[in-house]
Structure 1
Amino acid sequence: MAYRKLQDLPSQSLPREKLLRQGRHSLSNAELLAIFLRMGIKGKNVLDMSSDLIQSAGSLDALAHMDAAEIADICKGIGMAKAATLSAAFELGARALRETMMRRPIQTPEDVYDYLTTAMRWRDRETVLVLLLDTKCSLIKPVEISSGTLNESIAHPRDILRPSVIHNAYGFILAHNHPSGNPAPSRTDDLLTERVRECAKLLGVRFLDHIIIGKPTEMACRNYYSYNHPNGERLKEAIKGRPLYY
């Protein structure tokens, strides 16, 4: 029997009741999605529809980074209203994660990657931003500098350094994404890093690292490149007073 509405499912299978009875962590990804979708379509119950949606996207992570139009496009019958609901739910989760990360000291490139990955790795344009840090390695605020093209970002050292001066930051980390997913630095990245290093030295601003955000692979769940150190072993030392570029 194909159950179209969520409330038509057997009581032991109702995701909302299961959540209230056993807690949210007891639900599968499909069950959590079903609570937002509420209703399936003709010939397909809402749980099957949720499972198909994740499968069509490739993974829950990939689905979470789609906009509403993309979600509606990969699942026939979902409609823009439900797609918008899912998109909003995923964005709330991402923002909650970033708030949590802001309360933690940033001491390694992995910390930077974890904070930025939800916002940057799926962007289809190169985006440059800086993370401003205080003396305790805590994040003062992130500042987006520019958004470029598919394979090139446009940023000037003065724009990169200005936020650190305005907010009296102890130091800053430069970061940008590679839409291709490959975080290997280009010659342009190398030149920008060198120019920022020189300008930061003149201004007496601590340039702690330049990190390129890629996309996860089978070999690396955290896929990034750190100019400070690929393994992140020296960023903590830099923040403590021995910045790599100053």
Structure 2
Amino acid sequence: MNKKIKDLPDLDRPRERMLSMGEEVLSESELIALIIGSGTRELSAIDLARVIYQHFDNSLFRLSRATLEDLEHIHGVGPAKATSLKAVFALARKLIVEEALEQFTINRPESAAPYLIQLLSGKTQEEFHILLLDTKNKLLRSSQISVGLLDRSHVHPREVFREALRYGTAKIILGHNHPSGDPTPSPQDIECTKNLIEAGEILGIKIVDHLIIGHKLAGDSRQFVSLRQLGLINF
């Protein structure tokens, strides 16, 4: 039977190591052990944390995108541990978005890509967001408009421009993700963008780009595409 954390020397226990040396010295597995709090009869919290981390190929990104069902498939992980892990990664994503909002200035439309990648990469459903810019191209706010396939029924100009009018911005960037990982625009992506550009012209609100976010696939280094860069639409 494996040792329990209480049986380890103080300097081998994650909580004591953090208290004496700081969180930076802890490994990924040790941090996960602190989150889940306890192990099983057979495994200490640290051993179970290693199992969880290895289950997702020692990738924090894969772990951060795991569903509750994915987590609960691991022996020893029940609803309490699974929801604790999900909550931590959800907070981390919100922190990244909040920090970006405070300091993000868009020098050119495609420079919004890192922000949208943090927001959308790895999502299992398509999400459509808009970025509202001030006159100096500082990001004022991002808003989720819809979840689901991108088409007229899910992305209506009324919803898109309501946010722009509420915050008094004259420029917006569109962004959505492709859960498949391939950011190549579909005919529906292009048609939807054209419709929104036309609606924006009537309201005096300029759409400056539409970015599609994927994730890196074998043989394809692209993580996003810019419809403006591709020249598929006149913005």
Quickly name the TM-score band, shorter chain normalised. 0.7 to 0.9
Change (3 A) 1:221 1:56: farther
Residue matched to 1:215: 215
Residue matched to 1:24: 23
Matches within 5 A, 1:2-41: 2-4=2-4, 6-41=5-40
2:109–2:208 Cα contact (<8 Å) kept: no
1:101–1:115 Cα contact (<8 Å) kept: yes
Opposite residue 76 of structure 1, the aligned amino acid is H
2:110–2:211 Cα contact (<8 Å) kept: no
TM-score, normalised to structure 2, is 0.86
Change (3 A) 1:109 1:37: farther
Secondary structure, counterpart of 1:184 in structure 2: coil
CA drift at 1:109? 5.4
2:131–2:140 Cα contact (<8 Å) kept: yes
Residue deviations 1:189-241 (CA, integer Å, cap 9, x gap) = 111222222222232212111011112346677711111226xxxxxxxxxxx
Residue deviations 1:51-90 (CA, integer Å, cap 9, x gap) = 21112123211111223333122x2112111111111111
Residue matched to 2:137: 137
Residue deviations 1:28-69 (CA, integer Å, cap 9, x gap) = 111110111222223322222112111212321111122333
Residue deviations 1:87-117 (CA, integer Å, cap 9, x gap) = 1111111111111011122325565333233
Aligned residues: 229
Residue matched to 1:241: none
Residue matched to 2:206: 206
1:69–1:80 Cα contact (<8 Å) kept: no
Instruction: Return the alpha-carbon distance in structure 2 between the equivalents of residues 186 and 141 of structure 1.
Output: 27
Opposite residue 88 of structure 2, the aligned amino acid is A
Instruction: Return the alpha-carbon distance in structure 2 between the equivalents of residues 185 and 208 of structure 1.
Output: 17
2:151–2:189 Cα contact (<8 Å) kept: no
Secondary structure, counterpart of 1:228 in structure 2: helix
Residue matched to 1:63: 63
Change (3 A) 1:123 1:34: same
Change (3 A) 1:216 1:9: farther
The alignment's C-alpha RMSD in Å is 2.4
Q: Does 1:192 align with 2:187?
A: no
Q: State percent identity of aligned pairs.
A: 31
Secondary structure, counterpart of 1:229 in structure 2: helix
Opposite residue 129 of structure 2, the aligned amino acid is L
Instruction: Return the alpha-carbon distance in structure 2 between the equivalents of residues 217 and 173 of structure 1.
Output: 25
- Runs ≥4 residues deviating over 4 A: 108-111, 218-222
Secondary structure, counterpart of 1:136 in structure 2: coil
Instruction: Return the alpha-carbon distance in structure 2 between the equivalents of residues 218 and 109 of structure 1.
Output: 26
2:109–2:173 Cα contact (<8 Å) kept: no
Residue matched to 1:88: 87
Instruction: Return the alpha-carbon distance in structure 2 between the equivalents of residues 41 and 152 of structure 1.
Output: 47
Residue matched to 2:181: 181
Secondary structure, counterpart of 1:40 in structure 2: coil
Instruction: Return the alpha-carbon distance in structure 1 between the equivalents of residues 105 and 213 of structure 2.
Output: 16
1:126–1:152 Cα contact (<8 Å) kept: no
Change (3 A) 1:219 1:72: same
CA drift at 1:148? 1.9
Residue matched to 1:235: none
Residue matched to 2:225: 225
CA drift at 1:163? 1.8
Structure 2 unmatched ranges of 5 or more: none
1:105–1:136 Cα contact (<8 Å) kept: no
Change (3 A) 1:199 1:22: same
Structure 1 unmatched ranges of 5 or more: 231-243
Opposite residue 69 of structure 2, the aligned amino acid is A
Which stretch of the first structure deviates more once superposed, 163-172 or 173-182?
163-172
Opposite residue 137 of structure 1, the aligned amino acid is N
Opposite residue 104 of structure 1, the aligned amino acid is Q
